[in-house]
Amino acid sequence: MVDLKTTLCGITMDNPIIPASGTFGYGYEFAELYDINCLGSFSFKGTTREPRFGNPLPRIAECNDGMINAVGLQNPGVDAVIAKEMPKLAACFNKPVMANVSGFSIDEYTEVVQKLDNQEQIGWFEVNISCPNVHGGGMAFGTTCEGAAAVTKAVRQVTKKPLIIKLSPNVTNIVEIAKACESEGADGISLINTLLGMRIDLKTKKPVIANKMGGFSGHAILPVALRMVYQVYEACDIPIVGMGGVQTAEEVIEMMLAGATAVEVGAANLVNPFACKEIIEDLPRVMDKYNIKSLSEIIGGAH
């Protein structure tokens, strides 16, 4: 009998699989398709202080082995999330959930976390300082050690819940930024968010996406994600939530060997809404194939 359990920042999960923020809504949409309590957890849609419609259309561009999106943090705002989304979430999911928080200023990050902090079902905060699809916020904080550290320090002061900082791969030195977050009290690191990309329409001879550029995700970015998880694991002593191009149970194990304690699955959910369920169901077979008895014992095993 294999053991799928893992412990992320002091919270034990039945398995390491977490649908990534922005690909799983607030959970109840997928609960109409299957019992989402089979998941380890999930990271709900990026939440900001005010409601956001997001970026102008079109927002999506297809690529070989991936996609580009520039949704722009569309969400109903933190007050509506607390009043409407959290009760619906609680009705279909009975485990701790990960709250993904975004902002355009340090004050906004802290205000959103403060408002969400008394929601009992929130187990972790995943603070997104890496969104490439909005101007004047998001990734602007995550591309320097100083910006990442400032957000981490401020949010650390307003919650005692585990604080996981989500980092951008669009930087020259991911390790130094991760270390800056750790030094200011981060309990964990999520990486990677999307790479910055674009497509051009040959008929119009203009960018496909109205925002011109967007976040490139999907299977093609897996090698980049694995490399960065591996590097950060060597440099930091806090757990890593690995993500980026993961589609199969084999790739979950590969990500954990690189150093991930838990693994988020993103773009795959947009192609196949049962992707996470199928990965969880296939993990015991793959573990048997590679003579793995416990997932928690292989974390960082490639080092």
Asked whether 87 and 93 are in contact (CB, 8 A), the reply is no
Tell me the C-alpha to C-alpha distance, in Å, between residue 241 and each of 19, 29, 61, 166.
11, 24, 26, 9
Quote the CA–CA distance of 31 and 173 in Å, as a whole number. Answer: 39
Active site residue 63: no
> Which is catalytic among the residues 9, 38, 92, 131?
131
CA distance 209 to 56: 9
Per-residue DSSP letters for 192-209?
--PEEE--EETTTTEESS
Burial 106-125 (b: 16+ CB within 10 A, else e): eebbbbbbebbeebeebbbb
Query: Cβ neighbours of residue 50 under 8 Å, at least 6 residues apart?
Result: 77
Dihedrals phi, psi of 259, to nearest 5 degrees: 140, 0
CA distance 77 to 50: 5
As annotated, the active-site residues are 131
